[in-house]
Amino acid sequence: MGRPREFDIDAAVAAATELFIAEGYEGCSMDRIVQATGVHRGSLYAVFGSKRGIFVECLRKVAATSGERKSGERSDLLLIALVELAARDDEVRSICAGTISLWRTDAARELGTRLLARAGLNEGAP
Amino acid sequence: MGRPREFDIDAAVAAATELFIAEGYEGCSMDRIVQATGVHRGSLYAVFGSKRGIFVECLRKVAATSGERKSGERSDLLLIALVELAARDDEVRSICAGTISLWRTDAARELGTRLLARAGLNEGAP
DNA sequence: AAAGTTCTTGACTGACTATTCTAGAACGGT
DNA sequence: ACCGTTCTAGAATAGTCAGTCAAGAACTTT
């Protein structure tokens, strides 16, 4: 049925996830995502619909594999989602809420700890 | 010495602070800041130099009055700073580190708690 | 091999971005 | 009353942003 896709969706999502974690949502452009994934803009839009669509897919992937991940990895993208998107995006907020509710640890402390680590704090002098 | 300033710098900083807290750093444009402060673009640039300059001043103000503020108010802008700026801006990171080091509470938990509250979580169903 | 379908590609668009510039207005000093 | 200085006002600029589109390529089915 038609021309086969030349890129791996999961791989693109993984690459985009790393990018979002490193640069934030508003902080990284579609150009950067195209560059990091190696997938053409048009192809990304055909599959995910929008930049937000890409992010939501990344978030869903992290949520789905949350159990298998270390506490750092599973929190990083949530941080971005909570600070930049959740307040104005019901779906993102809902995914975040669902993910966190599955954690057994203290969510506030885990997120706060990871927040500081990601910012480069709590590992030496100011 | 020259024409007197027609706006109150502290008031502008306070208005900008609220805006940054509500919409994030990348999430709010200079247009929005001009609108919220009621100060002309040129005047803002004359005083603060850049959008980043405005943010840093807001952060400094919060840091300086951190002792007088409730835990929510003093954490909100730090969240934005830590997630969006600190990783790539040494000065911002330094201000954050200095502020947090003065807190007597568990910084990670306080930030995490505020993070969830700001996102609209932990106050009802998902 | 022709038709139909799905994907890729590169160029394009209009809106929005932070920042700058110039002209003029309001002050203090002389 | 003029001069130097500091601020304001509005328009302008160049760059970046997310998103779109038409043309062609790779596949399956008939």
Say whether pLDDT at B107 is over 50: yes
Distance in angstroms between the alpha carbons of the first and the last residue of chain B:
58
Q: Is residue A105 part of a domain?
A: yes
The interface pTM score, or ipTM, of the predicted complex is: 0.92
Residues of chain B in contact with residue A112, where contact means CB-CB under 8 angstroms, are 106-113, 115
Interface contact A84-B119, CB threshold 8 A: no
Which domain, by its residues, includes B82?
A: 9-117
B112 near A CB under 8 A: yes
B126 lies in some domain: no
Q: Encoding tokens for residue B25?
A: 């750093």
Which pLDDT band holds residue A1 (cuts at 50, 70, 90)? Answer: confident
**CATH number for the domain including A27?**
1.10.357.10
**B1 located within any domain:** no
A123 lies in some domain: no
Cross-chain residue pair A112–B116, CB shorter than 8 Å: no
- Whether A95 is covered by a domain: the verdict is yes
B22 assigned to some structural domain? yes
Q: Which of A70-74, A104-108, A119-123 has the highest mean pLDDT?
A: A104-108
Minimum-distance residue to C6 (CA–C1') = A2
Q: Mean per-residue pLDDT for B102-120?
A: 94
The highest-confidence range among A44-53, A72-81, B101-110, by mean pLDDT, is A44-53
Say how many residues make up chain B: 126
Number of domains within chain B: 1
The per-residue pLDDT for A36 is 98
| Buried/exposed code over B56-79 (b: 16+ C-beta within 10 A; e: otherwise) | bbbbebbbeebeeeeeeebbbbbb
pLDDT of amino acid B123: 54
Q: What is the pLDDT of residues A77-117, one digit of tens each?
A: 999 999 999 999 999 999 999 999 999 899 999 999 999 99
